[in-house]
Amino acid sequence: MKSIGTIIGCFIAAALSLVPSAVSAQTDSIRRVGAYADSLHRAYRFQEAMDAYEDALDMFVDSLMTVEDSLLAIDLSDRLLMAENGRNMKDFAYVPTVVARHRFSLDDFFLYYPLQDSSWRSVPCQLDTTSHPFSKAVYLPAGADRIYWSAEDQEGIRNIYRSELQDTVWTAPSLLNEHMTSAGDEIYPMVSPDGRMMYFASEGLYGVGGYDIYVSEWDEEAGDWSIPVNMGFPYSSPADDFLLVNTDDGRYTVFASNRDCPKDSVWVYVLEYDTMPVRHAVSDPDELMAVSRLEPVEKTVEESSVETDVPENVDTRRYMEKMFQVRDLRDSISYYGTSIEEARIRYSQASSEDVRVQLNGEITAREIILSILQDSLAVAAAQLQDIEMEFLFSGVMIDPDKLLAEADREIVGQTADYVFSKRSFGPAPDLDMLKPEVKFDYSFKILPVGQFAEDNTLPDGLVYQIQIFSAYNRADVSQLKGLSPVFESVAAKGRYTYRVGLFRTYNDVLANLNAVKRAGFRTAFIVAFNDGKEMNVAKARAMENDESSTEYYEVRIVPEDGELDTVVAEGIRQRSEGKDIARVELEDGTLVYVVGPFLEKAKADAVTDFVSAMAIGDARTLIIPQQ
């Protein structure tokens, strides 16, 4: 049976394609194909899903892509990759023995894990200041001297941090290695009782969809965690899977998933711990889906501690599944009905036409979804009634309330000896923890308040900066106009010069020059440094464009009358493709004009020949080694 979340997901995709919008009919068609591919993916039909995703991507070839279309293409490519991962992972599936399962609220499902009481600390707290749709608590057992937890970085992405107790002080939080840090969120890091394995969930590593569960082994020789491995089916699935632990007594493996359940709840599965799991290929999608459903081993009458007048068989389970579907559909109808009313209230209170147009689109989409849900409920209710009639004709009396109560019992599984017991939250953590060393950010930016560089020393190698002004009086932050980082240097005569940024390429510094000018420094210009020494920008560009070259060319001109005629200067610029003409005064007072640098000697010679033909003085091409 498909989950109600899957059904609603398909409804949303279909409804959005019907709402009037600025997107093209071609984009609508692509979205529909993508939604169809999603449904195949969730049904574990990964090869068919790959074909459908590729069909959707092929539709972009002849279309004029907007920004929205390009984002959709990237999203489809990501989903295609996950479908391909799923196809590859099904060759290494594992069939565990399921002891128990129960559905809990997302708000406190982790409290039902067989872990030390008061080991979960609610969020927000000292370690994690932001709540998350799935990660809603931090695991911090009493007496721990090393902790791992998930929290947001400066970009809002969740990473895994660690800290160790040293005497009475905890070390500053530090990230794990690059293998365990992705562009997506990592949540619920849990270390095995022996400290050798770490289990965590990620939506950014190699996976089949949503959050997958990974395991990393502690490498004693390297003193670090190894490259994480996706645990595969049935631990990972096209849904969201997370928070896997092995119990201290070595009997059970427990993890959570939102597969086949409403969005506000998750299944908590209890499996027999297997020290040597045997994996094999499962080629049939229906079989793989059945394995991933993780239904407990069917109980015998003698093993069951639950008294019921209803025979426990395939028909009973079919009835209960249909009853759950009807209940979920009713919940969804209630949700969408309420959200439509709230949107209508916001529409009546909206002050701008743009907001009203957006709200009208949302209301229309939700009304379409609501209509489809109502039709689906009518069909599901009729099917439920048909099953009840089958039982009636068979002489079996059905008590729906009793069946629901039995389905919601906390004692489930192969035997009746596993009980989900709720633990209590522990107090908020109060750790004497060192603060991480804040490193100055030397990337160019414009802030509400400008910043001087923490260290004015320039790095080795070729660096470009933008010189913004110089003055005899030292500048203060108010004069920076939000620029950061601003470097300060002092000349021998006490004049202060201020430059902003550290750029490794000319294109990078040029791309930011106008931003600096718009900030109020209209006379700003580019300067270059090599190993901390200022150099000609043209020479720097030549170095950058041909780093393997050990020499370049310059044309040196010494006019007879000491000055370079403007007509000759314009002719030089035309033949040198705009190269700089630098005026240099030698110690004996002689004026020399330097043109270049040139990467090709022929181009330098062309300028030399032109100046010689004009008969204004001496001109020669020189080879100048790079500095």
Provide the 3-class DSSP secondary structure of residue 555: strand
In this structure, the answer to whether residues 165 and 206 fall within a common structural domain is: yes
Residue 392 lies inside a defined structural domain of this protein: yes
The pLDDT score that the predictor gives to residue 89 is 93
Q: Which two tokens mark 421? A: 């017991």
- Between strands 158-166 and 174-175, the pairing is antiparallel
Is 141 domain-assigned?
Answer: yes
Residues 481 and 376 occupy one common structural domain: no
Do 496 and 372 fall within a single domain?
no
pLDDT at 20: 42
Mean pLDDT of 116-129: 92
If asked whether residues 79 and 141 sit together in one domain, one would say no
Q: How far apart are CA 324 and CA 563, in angstroms?
A: 94
Rounded CA-CA distance 506/305 in Å is: 77
**Residue 303 belongs to a domain:** no
Q: Where a domain ends, among 408, 424, 459?
A: 408
The residue range of the domain holding 198 is 95-293
pLDDT at 136 over 60: yes
Backbone angles phi, psi at 207, to 5 degrees: -155, 175
Say how many domains are in the chain.
5
CA Rg, the chain, in Å?
A: 35
74 or 197, greater pLDDT: 197
Q: Is 428 part of any domain?
A: no
Q: What pLDDT score does 21 carry? A: 44
User: Residues 58-75: pLDDT tens digits?
Assistant: 887 655 555 556 677 888
Helix, strand or coil, per DSSP, at residue 285 = helix
SS (H, E, C) 33-93: HHHHHHHHHHCCCHHHHHHHHHHHHHCCCCCCCCHHHHHHHHHHHHHHHHHHHHHHHHHHE
Q: Are residues 164 and 254 in the same domain?
A: yes
User: Which range is least confidently modeled, 339-348, 465-474, 477-486?
Assistant: 339-348
Residues in the chain: 627
Q: Indicate the average pLDDT of the chain.
A: 82
Distances (CA, A) of 111 to 56, 122, 186, 205, 243: 43, 11, 20, 27, 12
**419 assigned to some structural domain:** no
Same domain, 209 and 124: yes
Mean pLDDT of 223-248: 94
Q: Does the pLDDT at position 2 exceed 60?
A: no
Residue 48 and residue 245 in contact, taking contact as beta carbons nearer than 8 Å: no
Distance CA 199, CA 191 (A): 6
Distance of CA 58 to the CA centre of its chain: 26
Residue 467 is predicted with a pLDDT of 95
DSSP string, 197-243: EEEEEESSSS-SSSSEEEEEEEETTTTEEPPPEE--TTTS-SS-EEE
Domain contains 585: yes
Helix (H) or strand (E) holding 287: helix 285-293
> Tens digits of per-residue pLDDT, 154-194?
778 899 999 999 989 999 999 988 888 888 899 999 999 88
Residues 86 and 104 in one domain: no
